Structures are given as C-alpha cells and as structure tokens.
Structure 1
C-alpha cells in the first residue's frame, strides 16, 4: 500500500524508509541493524501503521526473553492472539528443553504453514537474545522458511544467526545505520514537528556532522535548542556518548530544581505513576511533573495496557541513573527501600524483589523474597519462584526454610523431581539459621518428603505411608491445609471417591481461609472430578462453570477451572468451544503446570484432531504427551495416552499402528495376565490399560476374550462406584454382546444402558470410548426401534444422522460362512484392502478374491461397499 507523502500535523513520517521496509514482503528475513536511538522501533511503528500488511506479530524483547521457553511461549501467545489461523496445537513452546531445535523448528514451520495470508513476524530489540537454543530454532526455520512468512529483526548488534546462505541467495534485506541516518531535509521537518524554527544552513550542516545522522542525537539537540536557544547547537562537539551525557545535563538544567531532582530519582523506577512517585520519592508534585515531562516529549512513554503509567526511554533512564549516582548517591538505596515497601503493600512482588535486591540491604531482600515466595506459592505463580531459584546461590536458599520449602513444593508440582530431591536432601543436612516458636523444621521436611513421594510415585505413593502425619498441625507452613488436599488427591487416584470428596471440601475451606488460592482451586478441581466420576454430572458441571466464569483470566487458578471446562464442553459435544479453551490453555501449559492439566489438554486436542481426520497431527500430539510424562512415574497418565492411541488406531482402521502400540506397551501380556485370577482393587491405570487391551482383542477377532475382560473391568469399576467409567465399559459390553441380536433386543439393551446411567451421561466420551455404540444407536433410532428425545439427538448431530437404514444382509454371516471366510469378512468390514487382507490372513491375493466371491454370493451382495454400509464393524 502506498504511503502518504505528507505526514499528519505533528507527525514526522519517514516515507522513504517505510517504503524500503515494505520490501520485506519479498524476502524471508529483513535485518534492521543500528545502534540505540537510530529510529528502528519508530520505523517499525510507521511501517506497521502505513504499509498495511494483513498480519503482523510483533514482539518487543527484553533481557528475560533470552530464556528459550519464555521466548517461544510469548511468541506462541502473541501469534495466537494476532492470527486466528495459527494452530497452537502444532507448536508447543514449553517443551523446548526436551526437544532438539530442529524438531521445534519443524513444529513451528508446520504451524506457520497453516496461515494462508502473508504473515510478518517482527522481533524488536533482538540484541537481548543470545540463547543457542532460540537462535538454532530461528536458523532452522530460516533454512526452509514457510511460504508467505517474513521475519523482521531489529537489533543493536548483529544477531548470532547464520545469514550467509540468505545473503548469497539475495533473500536477505539489510537496513543498516546508513539507511537510517536522518537526512538534512528530514531534520528540518523534525524541527518543525517539535515546534522549532527552521535551521540555518550552517547550523544544520554542523548538526549533521556532529550527530552523523543519528536521529536520537538530532532530536536531543533540537530539544536542547528549544530550552537554551539556537546557540546550543553550536556547542555540540562531542561523540555520541557525550551527546547523551549533554542531553541529560541540558534537560535537567532546564527544569526547576524540585522537578530536576524528581526527574532523576524517578529513573530508578522501571515504570511509574503519580501515586508511586509521591510515595517513594516523598513528594506531592509527581502528577504535575509527569504532565510537564509528557508535554515536552522528553522520551516519556506510556505503558501499554496500564493507563497513567509511564516509562523513560531506556537510554534516557540509564543517563539519569548515572547522573543520580554522581550527584545524589545517598538517596539511591533509600528510594529502592521505599519502593520495596510500596510494591510489597501492592502485592507486586516481582517489582518488590527487584528493588529489594538493588537496595543493598540483605536482610530486607531476604524478608521480601520470603514473602514473595509465600505469595507466589499461594497464588500459583510457579515461574517466579523458579526464576529466582536460578538466580540465587543454593547456599542462600538452603539457609532459609521459607525459601527452600516453597521452592521444593514448586519443583515437585512442576515435575522437576530430581531437583526437588536435591534441595530436600540438602535442606535436611543444612543447619537452620533461625527458628520460631510455631515453626517445626522437622515436620516441614517430613511433609515435603511425603509431598515429593506422592507426586513422583503417583499411585505407587509410599506403600504404607504414615498419612496420619499429614493430618497434624505444623505451624506457618500451613501443612495441614496442604495435607488435606494431598490426601484428597491420593483417594481420587485410587477411586475412593467419597473420601476424596470429603477431604477435598475440607481442604478447600481451610485453604481459602488461609489465602492459598491456587491449591484451593486444585482442591475444587478434585471435588468436580470426584462428582463427575460418581455420576453427579449436574453438580460437577455447575461447580466448574461457575468458577470458570468468575475467575480472572490472568490468574493461574483460571487454568485449573479451564481444564475442568474442557471436559465439560467436550462431553456436551460443544467441540468448537472445547478446542478454543484447549488452544487458550496450550500456551500456558508449561513445566510448572499440573499433570492433569497437561494430559487433559493434549488428549482432548488429539481426540478433536482425530475426529477431523487429521490422524498424523493427533498421533504427534499423543507422542509429545508421552515424552512429557517420561519425567516422572506417571503410569496412570501413560495408560490414558495408550488407551487413546489404541482407540484411534482401532476406529481409524490403522491395524499396523494398533499392533505396534500393543507390542510397545505389552497389551498381549497384560490381557493374558488379567483374563483370570482374583480381581485387583481399582486403579485408573489398570482400568485404562484394560480397556486398551479390550480394543486390541476386538481388533484381533477375539470377541469372547474381550467380553470376559470387560466383565472383569466392570466388576472392579462398579465396586469402586465410578459411574462414568462403568458407563463406558458397559457400553462396550453392549456393542459386543448385542451384535448378533435382533434390533428389538438391541434397543432393549440400549434402553437398559440409559436407565442405569441416565441419558445425558451417554455423552461424547462414551461414544468415543465405546466404538460401535454410536452407529448402533443411530441405526436403531433411524428405523424407529429406539425412541430418543429430539434435544438429545440434536446435541449429537454427527451421531444421529437420520440416514435411512440399509436393508439387512440376506443371511447371517456367522451361520453361512466358513471360519476362514468369516475371518476375511471381519477384516473386510473393518475397511482393509484385498492386499491388507492377504497379508493379515497369510493367503495369496488370488485366494482372497476367491473367498470374497463366495462371501458375496452367500450374503446376497455384489460389492465391497454393501458390506461397509449394511453391517457394523466387527
């Protein structure tokens, strides 16, 4: 799009540079390389405003973004917000530590390829990025860039990327300092925009010589000339660093003494508003100061999304801080100290700890950090705790239980079990620096041991563990509150649902009273899951929906309720809404997230992709989940993943994949060991693995063994009172046992299933995990044998298609076919080709065709399609 020739009043538009940057649409990478203050960010702003690209994803980078996990997560979030077509399920930025950069780049490539319109990705201030992992991902992406994706990198220093191939192929647009240098005519326009007079030729020439076209220096000089007159420009004869120093002097000397002091002192604050400045700088003039600075355009920039908050240009802030350290060194530490107390009162602990660290008061810093760790643990901000743990020496952490205990809990919850074990063992061996009357270090450490054991060993949690210890009070670590939630979780794992409910309700009440909002949310999720498994669907749904809609989106607790909401939406067949919540959650799912959240998001997205026929994507999602689960002993979550793998292979007719998964996870051995003998107590892993073995048996034509195994599963699940899983197992039994019954008896079987569990409990998950149920119910409903409410059939339009029933086969296959013909007929029903049938049965293609001819003749059909349309899969 053409740019206007004349800027709006008060605007300084660099039309030529905007047009130059617009050429970025012709190459995969554009590099803006110039020193600070050269106008890179301003150019990007003007290009984005005037060139009109369809999609622009812009990231302003900061030093913390050098962490590859943070960098890629921020990128995924911003891209998802700006580009609806960007599918975050293709790209999981949080598992960067477990994957090589090439694999991450491949996933990113696949995700970006889904965007059909031109996409511009802008990284500003890229000089902060040094991480080899991040640079390797970008290198790999640029080696084979996606179609219509263009990267723009703005940096003060050359990025550590391999750009030689792009240069050789003329696929790199480089805009450097020479292009960014301000031209004489532009200086005149800039002076006019700033309200100044036209510059004389000799003054303009001198300014251009001294600044070498550095736009920030030119602007500094022009602003200074308005303070002290045009003669000021004649005195500019220093190099660029000296110009910046002169800028600080010129601006400060042009202000009243009070404003000058506040101007310098406020530079110690990353961002500020009038209230903060008045409190920390001990003044009542901050509002007027900010207004005056803003009117003078002294590089005072509003903070996006925070009305009334401002920040200084980074260069200006550095100059002001340096000047303050020279002129008023004694005020620096007190300002940081007062800022610490201000942000603690505001519960803005990231800022509080930043200032406490810089004030030089070790005792204040430790106290602030202890309060921060406690607050972050209560609210679920695990990343803040983990970030400080990386920055602090281990010796300091281990000397303070109020740092070590939250860190160990956070490491445990985020599945960093080896690090948690290291700190816990070191803590036990470290003498405490202090003790209080209500603080029992031995009890705290015993609790942390049980906490680690529970999450690391999952359902194998410390056989014979002394759970009574968890029920005793233990002072300021709030052990009893955490313990109640732990015991509730333990009972949920083992199917003791009533006990899980009782402990979870008690835990939630105590945790909310103590201000542990995140763990209280976790206890609430346990309540919802227990009710759901007990069959109290209405109660569970109401509880989840209420808290999902009333919890702030930026709170970590929201992710817990969103996880429950995914289950609710999916079961109600609101698949588009379930996908949206999953995609909203996916960028948040990190190594600091609960395993239940990660598994729910991955399994649901995989199932949605499978429903859409995207089998490669759904399989990749499950493999990624298995990779994450390798971090701990997550047998039950692995079993859920295996069940979904086998289910997808069975329903998709992927027999080789099914056999591979069965062999990989030893399903044949499991079925052999569990078809007889005493029944075990309920466990999720046993039940899920059992259902996977049932699918494998069905695929192999071993229906009777499958029925026998289902009956054993049902007995165990019913004894545990887990109605949701019982409905699924019962539905599978119905599909297998009703196969050869006449339609009226099949309908009575379905009606009995509905009577036992309730119609609305026969939901999307039941249809998924009982393959064959939906075609059975659809056929009976379509021919009028099964009566169902209209509202129910409308809820599942993909199931109840109302397609006219096909006439039945002329003969019963089991009665007229030989064993070999029946074997081939079963494989034919499941969609195998002639070649696949020959491979599975061990006979030649010619013999297979001869058998098929006999089968068609005996059953009164003439083509393969009749088998698929007129008989359900076996």
Structure 2
C-alpha cells in the first residue's frame, strides 16, 4: 500500500446513487451508506485511556511544563526515545492534565498487529467525529485516497480544540504513515498532536522547525536530572546514600528512568550501595533483559553484529569506522540504529560524532567477548588506538592500546603526552590511574611521566603518597641528571621539583612553607617555564589573600595571569581565574567574580568538559559569588556542579566557599540534615581548618534564622575562639581568624553581650577597612545596626545602615541584608520613605532592591524615595570620595596622589562637585554637604 501525493484522487467515486448526505461538524456533508453499518472497528485498543501504572510517578520538569512548555502550543510534539525513558508516563500525565483543565483530549494506541495504517485512520476518525453524528467506517471506501480525504475534511471542519495523544507510534513510523501525519498536521490549527515513539518519524522536521509547528523531545530531555533522581529514590533511600553515591547513580544511569527503577529495587534490598552499583554496572540480570528484549529485539543479526564491533570504541565517527575496516556506510547504519531506538547519543550538532549509553555499551561488550573473534577484536582496537593517537585523543588511544594488549606502546604514548594531559587539560586521573596500572603490571614509566604523575598526585590531594613517591622519583631524576649525556629536559625536571613541593604544601594547608618553596623556584629560575612561574605566583597570591594583603594578592595574581597567557593551558588559566575570583570575593567584587567564572566555564566546556574536577572547583567559587549577589537559583545550580568533585579536588579555601553556599541554601529546608552529612564528609577529606570553617558557616546561618540555642551549642562543640589556632602550635591565616572573630561577634550580638561585642566590633571594623574586605565591612556594619536596635538606639542603627548601603551598592551585595532581614525590616518600616535620601542614584536604586528583600509592606515601597533637596543632580562615586577627603584638609596634589589621578583631573572633579552643591569654595562645599547630611 502506498500513499500518493494527491490524497483526493478518486474521492468523487465514493459519492453515487442510493447514498444520502449526513451533516457533521459544522454543516459540511460526507457521503454515507443509506443503511449505516455496524461499527466493529471501534475497538478499545485503538481509542482508550492510558495504561494503569504500578509505580508512583515523579513530577518531572517536562510533566510540569506540559506540551506547551510555557509558550504557544505547537501543532506537533514528538517524544522520541529508546525503551524505558518514560514516554507513556509523560503522555499519560499530559493527558490527565488536559482533562483536568476541561479540554477535549483523546488517547490512541496503534495496534501492533494487522494493518497499522488502517487502524490509525479508524482511530483518528473516531476521535474527530466524537461530537458529531456517527457515520459509517471509511473501510467501505475502496481507495486509501478516499479515506484520507474524509479524514482531512473532518480536520478542516474541526473548530473546537482537541489534543490527540498517540502512544507507541512505532508500527506507524514507516514513510506512508509519516507522510499521512504530515498531511493531517496542515489541515487544522485547533488539533494538537502529541506523538511518542521509540523510532524516529519520517517527516520533514526542517520545514516544521522553520514555521515553528514542531516541538521535539528526545532521550536527553526525558532523562532524570539529579533532583528528579532524588525524588524517585525517595527520602528513605537517599538517607543511606552519600553525595558521591548519588552522583555515581546519576552517572551510571545517565538519567535513564527504567534503569533508575531497576537500581532503586536493588538498593531497596538492603545491600551496600557501593556493592549494588558495582554489580549493576557489571551486568544486572534485569538490565540484561531490558537491553535484550526491549532494545535489541527489533534488530537483525547483521545490525547486532555491527553494534558489538562498534561497542569496542569509546566514541564513533565515520572516519574511525572506515579506519577500523568496517563496511562503507557504517556511520549511516549507526544513525539508522539510533533511529530504531538504540540508546546512542550524538556528540555534535552535525551528527558526525556519537557514543553509546554507557550501560548499553557495557552490555554489548560483554556479549562481544563470547561472540567476536579475539583476532578481530585486537585488530579493531589496535587500529582505533592508532587513529585516536593521530587525532591527539590520547586518553582514548591509551585505553585502546591496553585493551589490545599492547602495554608497551601504551606506556610510551603516556610518556609523550603526560605533560599535555596534566598541564593543558587537567586530566589528572588518567595519568595517575595508568601509572598505577603499569606499575601493578611490572612496567616502568619514563621520567616525564613520573614528574607529571607527582604533580597530578598533589592536585588530587594524595599528599602522603606524593611525598613518599617524590623522594624516590627525585633520586631517579637526579641520578639521570648526573649521568653522561643527560638531556636538558631531564635537567629542567630536576629544577622544577620545588614547584611540586610547593603545590603539595599548599594543598595540605601549609601556606607559609608553600610560599617559601615557590619563592625558591622563582629565585633560581627567573626565566623558568611560564606554567611553573604562573603556579608560583598563584601560590603567593592565595597566601597573601589569606593573610589579609588583598592589594598585594591582586598584583601577584596579575603576574600569574601574564605567565599563564604564555602557555596553551586551559587548565592553568582556570586555576588562575579561580584564585583571582576568590580574591575579588574577599574584596566584595562579586559581580566581577561571577562574570569571570561564567566566562571561564563557557571556555572550559568544549575544551575539557564540565565533568572535569577543575570545572567543579570553579563552580564552587561562582556559587559563592552568586549567593552574595542574591542569585540563589544560580548559586544552587553552580553548587550542584561543584559538589561532583568537591571531596577530592580543590584548595581548602576555594572549597570552603562552596561549603558556605551549601549551608546557606540548605539551612531551614527539608534537606538540611542530609546536606549536613554530605558537607561534613567533604570537610573531613581536608585539613582540620575546613571543618572549623564549616562550623562557623553553620553558626552564622543558624543565627540568621534566630535559632540561637543551636548556634551556641555548635560554638561550644568546636570551642570557638578566634585567638587560637586550629591546633596547638599551628599557624593560621588572617582570613581564618577574621571568620572566627566575625562569628564570635554575631554570637555576642545575639546573646545581647553588648560590652563584649563593641570592642571586638571596633577591632574587626578597622581590620576590614585596612584590608579592603568590603563584604566583611558590610556584614559588620549591618551587625552593628542590629546591635543598635537591640539597645533601642534607632538613630545609631540608621547611621550604621547608611554606612553599609553605599559599600554594598558598589558591590551588589544582597545576602548580608537578607541575614538581618527582620531587624532591618523593622527599622525601615517604622520610618517614612521621605526620610531616606541618597546622594547617588545607584544608592537609591540599590536601597529599593534591598527593601524588596525585607519584610516591608508594599504600600511603603510605593512612595517616592529620592536624592537630597538642593542637589541639582546626584553625586558620582568619585565626587563623594573627594568630598570626604577634602574634609581632612588634603591639598589638590595630595588628593591626586591618594586617588591615583592627575591634578587637572582632580580639579575637574572638584569643579563638578562645587557646581552640584552650589558652592564656590571648599569651605562652602563642606558646609553645604553637612546641611545635606552627605558626610555620614
């Protein structure tokens, strides 16, 4: 049976003598027999209701969005995914939602047997004439064109909206049924089609995308995200899993709903989660049934054999397929297999790179071990290894050589590419894992591999092993240097060992030792390797930042930037960006830090991938910047990315930023207890200082929620004392001391210990100002605002608040105001809007933004808040700085030196300042400023 382009041909033949006209759907007529025939073709399997599910449905983001996804509904929504991705569940939920809204909806399941096209036409006729006079079955028409014409007429006469949900479209995915579907779509805009299938539809998707009538959903859209995985597993199961195990579940399943349900059953049997995951990945019986009966059953033996050969490769492409000797058209065969419902993912927009779902690939590889001949297997792997090596895909090449049983070639390749894997790509795991593997096999590795192996050990936080290995490696390298004919490369490695030592000391929280080692490198290697120079400068800048020397730290990180720009290391650039962003956050420049992190993540994604540990650490810094800016949703997304590798990668102070975000976002929520366990486990993998910092974050979060007793208990548990080091005899940084002191101050304010709070406040305020810690300065001033209110000093509270506001406005800091929301809301609510005037427009706008975050009535916010009366226009920041400096009696030359400006530029700013104040001299300007309360 073939559908012609002209479906109307022969339609007149159906209208003849002895027939009568029947009026249906808006007055048009269709031909019908004089004696209506029985309707045996109205069978429940065609036109029924969704199947009953024997499990609880997770309200995924797609279910919540609905077919329209927040915009105009499309005429056609296709849901194409392999078996087990929840297509039926999704359509059933959308169907129920449509009925609940009072809309007309119809559920169709095409029959698997018989003539699928005939059955589909009959079901559609039934759905479309449900509100009209029933007519006879169009099966009585002799020509398919006549039946299609009748169906088109029903659609054109349809006025009321109707949603057609067609589940299990596989029997109708041939070219004829797909052509019919495309024709029917154009007949009526009031009918919405939602079609689910394991196989791709043979319709013109390009034209449908251009006229915006098509919405396409695939396996990646239906895959569960981490939040949905948690919801599926339930609180009871999640309570027995740590964060890493949940990440392992997400990575193993890749969000495949059927696989997740199988895993959930195994985890519910009470076995150790790690054992369950290991056994499941090795080949679960239920998983094998899913793969064999649902995925592979429709394929031919030749297609199955092709899949087993391709499963040996980590990724697939046409060039690679040709290189390993597969028949021409292997890539087209792969695309065809994907269209037949095999879980194969596209890696690029052009459809030239693919990979298997990991579990599907593992299943095929296990099958290939007993089916594929060993010689053929080795030949494929060896050829693929050479191809990967030529493409500079070293990780894939090394694995292929090893699986082809060519360990010597694999070790030689690692020697050639270890530097680029570690230095340029940050692929630390590949180097450490393969070196450990080769040593277990009794193979030795070259000096370059050993050097970068040590480097990778330090960055993966395996410090004890690094120190142990470094002695032996140093001895071998120095012996090689002393040998006759030692290469310059070997000698360079010997000179670079202090850099590795500095990294290990920094990661183990010995900042001062790390700085000494870095300085030793810089002293003896003024023209050394730019990558090592950047590392040394980065270590210095982080140590300076933690000692409160933020201006010097910024200068040092600029030197690191200049050095790393001479390399091609995306990994190195990411580390410099992280430390720079950390310094900016300490200085309150969260906007710039957030922008830098987002730009670097965009750069990392195509180069290294967001699954890389460096991306996780970078995301933790970005989460902190977003949280301080009040962007909680963005902070939560970045935190989820950052938690992937937080337990084993990152410097202590950078990871601490992420832990603070984790505490802030989870405290007071249902996930508080579970998140606390995860954060504790991460902190325990680092030196003790991180656990103490985590306690400080918890105390602050508890105080912001007015849970004072719990905060006091936490402080007593860790013996909070900012004058002591974390352990007897240890050194501690200024940043660490400031965190403890600030936490103690908050505790004293909460306990109304005013006498103890004031001296500590004055001390910390001076330190925050001298060290340029704008964020800490805002927090301190707002704490004193609360303290003044507790002492019933409303004028003092207002004064502290107005000091904090312009600093926070410059930085965009919202979170400190949220932490004091109750106190600040009361202060502002009891005033009048006209009591608040501002010298700068940005201060006024920021004040309004802060008020929207506080418990203040909307009526209060509706009144106008403006600039002081008498100012012709608001003052800019530079003019306010000048105003405060000339109050101290400084000359123009002193002002220019203080502000790093030229004297003519200072005079220009003073001219504008006098003009706005309506003054002719300094004394008149100061007098006018005092009247307008501009010198607060």
TM-score range, shorter chain: 0.5 to 0.7
Cα 1:670–1:296 change in 2 (3 A) is closer
- How do 1:274-673 residues align onto structure 2 when only pairs under 5 Å count? 274-281=318-325, 286-291=327-332, 303-306=344-347, 307-308=351-352, 309=354, 329=375, 336-377=381-422, 378-393=424-439, 399-430=445-476, 436-440=487-491, 441-459=493-511, 461=513, 467-470=519-522, 472-473=524-525, 478-536=531-589, 539-549=592-602, 551-552=604-605, 554-555=609-610, 556=612, 558-587=615-644, 589-596=646-653, 598-610=655-667, 613-614=668-669, 617-618=671-672, 621-622=675-676, 624-635=678-689, 637-667=690-720, 670=722
Cα 1:381–1:315 change in 2 (3 A) is closer
Query: In structure 2, the residue corresponding to 1:763 is in which secondary structure?
Result: coil
- How do 1:792-811 residues align onto structure 2 when only pairs under 5 Å count? 792-799=847-854, 801-802=856-857
Contact 2:86 2:258 survives alignment (8 Å): no
Contact 1:493 1:684 survives alignment (8 Å): yes
Cα 1:796–1:88 change in 2 (3 A) is farther
Contact 1:399 1:430 survives alignment (8 Å): no
1:359-382 deviation digits (Å, cap 9, x = unpaired): 444442123223554333222334
Deviation at 1:608, TM superposition (A): 2.4
1:53-78 deviation digits (Å, cap 9, x = unpaired): 769xxxxxxxxxxxxxxxxxxx9x96
The separation in 1 between residues aligned to 2:341 and 2:397, in whole angstroms, is 23
The separation in 1 between residues aligned to 2:510 and 2:234, in whole angstroms, is 27
Q: What TM-score do the two structures reach when normalised by structure 1?
A: 0.59
The separation in 2 between residues aligned to 1:533 and 1:277, in whole angstroms, is 52
The separation in 2 between residues aligned to 1:645 and 1:297, in whole angstroms, is 49
The separation in 1 between residues aligned to 2:850 and 2:734, in whole angstroms, is 32
The separation in 2 between residues aligned to 1:429 and 1:358, in whole angstroms, is 33
Contact 2:382 2:400 survives alignment (8 Å): yes
Deviation at 1:688, TM superposition (A): 0.6
Q: 1:685 aligns with which of 736, 741, 744?
A: 736
Cα 1:691–1:443 change in 2 (3 A) is same
1:33-89 deviation digits (Å, cap 9, x = unpaired): xxxxxxxxx99816844465769xxxxxxxxxxxxxxxxxxx9x9642582984999
Cα 1:738–1:516 change in 2 (3 A) is same
Which has the higher relative contact order, 1 or 2, with Cα contacts under 8 A spaced 6 or more apart? Answer: 1
Cα 1:535–1:576 change in 2 (3 A) is closer
Cα 1:438–1:782 change in 2 (3 A) is farther
The separation in 2 between residues aligned to 1:106 and 1:586, in whole angstroms, is 8
Cα 1:298–1:341 change in 2 (3 A) is same
Query: In structure 2, the residue corresponding to 1:592 is in which secondary structure?
Result: coil
Cα 1:157–1:466 change in 2 (3 A) is closer
Instruction: Report what 2:169 is aligned to.
Output: none
Deviation at 1:521, TM superposition (A): 1.3
Q: Does 1:713 align with 2:758?
A: no
1:528-583 deviation digits (Å, cap 9, x = unpaired): 33234335555445434544555527344544553343233222222223223323
Deviation at 1:606, TM superposition (A): 2.0
Gap regions ≥5 residues in structure 1: 8-17, 27-41, 56-74, 94-100, 113-118, 142-151, 160-174, 183-213, 225-246, 252-261, 675-679, 806-874
- Residues matched between the structures, number: 632
Gap regions ≥5 residues in structure 2: 1-42, 58-79, 95-219, 251-255, 726-730, 839-843, 861-936
1:369-414 deviation digits (Å, cap 9, x = unpaired): 2355433322233443444355342696874333333333333233
The separation in 2 between residues aligned to 1:701 and 1:743, in whole angstroms, is 16
1:685-742 deviation digits (Å, cap 9, x = unpaired): 1001111221232344321111111212223333323232233223333443565465
Q: 2:783 aligns with which of 725, 732, 748?
A: 732
Deviation at 1:641, TM superposition (A): 1.9
The separation in 1 between residues aligned to 2:753 and 2:644, in whole angstroms, is 43
Deviation at 1:176, TM superposition (A): 10
Deviation at 1:267, TM superposition (A): 7.4
Contact 1:299 1:316 survives alignment (8 Å): no
Instruction: Report what 1:115 is aligned to.
Output: none
Cα 1:176–1:539 change in 2 (3 A) is closer
Instruction: Report what 2:755 is aligned to.
Output: 704
Query: In structure 1, the residue corresponding to 2:259 is in which secondary structure?
Result: strand
Contact 1:505 1:524 survives alignment (8 Å): no
Contact 1:754 1:762 survives alignment (8 Å): no
Query: In structure 2, the residue corresponding to 1:407 is in which secondary structure?
Result: helix
Instruction: Report what 1:845 is aligned to.
Output: none
1:10-48 deviation digits (Å, cap 9, x = unpaired): xxxxxxxx98x965669xxxxxxxxxxxxxxx9981684
The separation in 2 between residues aligned to 1:302 and 1:332, in whole angstroms, is 22
Instruction: Report what 1:210 is aligned to.
Output: none
Instruction: Report what 2:813 is aligned to.
Output: 763
